[in-house]
Amino acid sequence: MRPDCRLMDALESHKALYIAILCVQIGAFDCVIARKRPYGSKGRQGRDFHYQKETPRVAMLSMRRLGSFKYDIREIMTHYEVDEALASSIVANVIAKSSRQSIEEAKEYVRDSMTKGEMIEPVSDEICDLLDRYSKWR
């Protein structure tokens, strides 16, 4: 007479696969658990890793000194008596462009707003100097 054999479902772990458990019934169940595969035995052999290409470094606003930058740029705006609504819009755009794109993009925005007549030339020059002081290569 052959013993009664049952094949249980394979259990899955997040990193390793357990092989099926074979239970043999001889009066009671005696379970034998098969060994796990050695770490990295499949899936990593023969693969070439593709690394992301390095992007060029760009001067951007130093986020560590953001509070000081906001204070200084607002001081410039109040010193030259720029309109409050216009000043808050310019400050927000300068911070956004200099922290996300680059210092050069922010300077270009400041110069464009000067040519549109939103601010005078000394304000534009001081903001550009301020951007240079608070820049960081990242």
Q: Which two tokens stand for residue 111?
A: 């110069």
Instruction: Tell whether 70 and 127 lie within a shared domain.
Output: yes
The parent domain of residue 99 ranges over: 59-137
E-only strand ranges, the chain: 4-7, 22-26, 28-32, 59-61, 135-137
Q: Is the pLDDT of residue 1 over 50?
A: no
Residue 69 has a CB neighbour count (10 Å cut-off) of 22
Q: Is residue 129 part of a domain?
A: yes
Tell me which residue has tokens 């098969």. 34
Instruction: Tell whether 26 and 94 lie within a shared domain.
Output: no
Instruction: Tell whether 32 and 90 lie within a shared domain.
Output: no
Q: Is the pLDDT of residue 34 over 70?
A: no
Q: Higher model confidence: residue 96 or residue 55?
A: 96
What are the Cα distances from residue 15, in Å, to 12, 44, 46, 94? 8, 13, 20, 47
* Model confidence pLDDT, tens digit, residues 56-112: 999 999 999 999 999 999 999 999 999 999 999 999 999 999 999 999 999 999 999
The whole-number average pLDDT for the span 13-41 is 48
pLDDT at 62: 95
DSSP tally for the chain: helices H, then strands E: 4, 5
